[in-house]
Amino acid sequence: MPIPPFTIDGILPPFQGSDPGGDRALMSPYIVTAVEVTDSFGTTRVRQTILKRWLEHRSALRAAGIVRGFQWLDGSFLEDKEPNDLDLITFVYRPQTLLAIQNWQPFLMARPELFERTTVKRRFNLDAFFIDMNGAREAILSSSRYFLQLFSHQRHTFLWKGMLQVGLEDVGDDAAALARLVPPPNEKPTGGDDDS
């Protein structure tokens, strides 16, 4: 299903159609591909830089062994304005070798560039959060409830809005998305990408 257009308020709709409790495919978070994200939101150099860094982060997660999961995307990036970053929550399934918590915690601590919020934001322009899908069920439900409520409303207006869900497994989808990120034809270069 394609990403719905912005509403008159410049946000993604929280559902499509007239029934907010209708067809699940028409409800946020909309399940989409990385290509659909880049095609819909890679409209400026700033947005393309953020998308490239998002794809780099996804690639780095896979290189570290995180190959199963999905991400919820949200924030000003999914609004009709120029964003500073991309907000996301990654629902992570641990690799087989890291199922034991005594192995998982050191793995996370040794990779702040992938998992520590401040470091990830500085390096990748992502405001990133993580939910451990192999954790306690109550913790997964509590974290999901918190982030769903936080991400499904605008911070200042409390307007109900939609978000996107992208799986982590499809490496080919990410490669195709990266290949589609070409500078918009009518936009002047900004002098290079700054990592700060």
- Contacts of residue 58, defined as CB under 8 A and 6 or more positions apart, other chains included, come to 34, 71, 168, 174
The amino acid occupying position 186 is N
Q: Is there a contact between 128 and 117 (Cβ–Cβ < 8 Å)?
A: yes
What's residue 150's pLDDT?
A: 87
Q: Please tell me the predicted confidence (pLDDT) of residue 28.
A: 86
Residue 4's H or E segment, with its range, is none
Give first-to-last CA distance, the chain, whole Å: 35
pLDDT value, residue 94: 97
Q: What pLDDT score does 184 carry? A: 64
| H or E element that contains 128 | strand 126-132
**What is the full per-residue pLDDT of the chain (196 aa) written as tens digits?**
679 999 999 999 988 876 666 777 788 899 999 999 999 999 999 999 999 999 999 999 999 999 999 999 999 999 999 999 999 999 999 999 999 999 999 999 999 999 999 999 999 999 999 999 999 999 999 999 999 888 888 888 889 999 999 999 999 999 999 999 987 666 655 444 444 3
Predicted local distance difference test score (pLDDT) of residue 187: 60
Residue 86, classed as helix, strand or coil, is strand
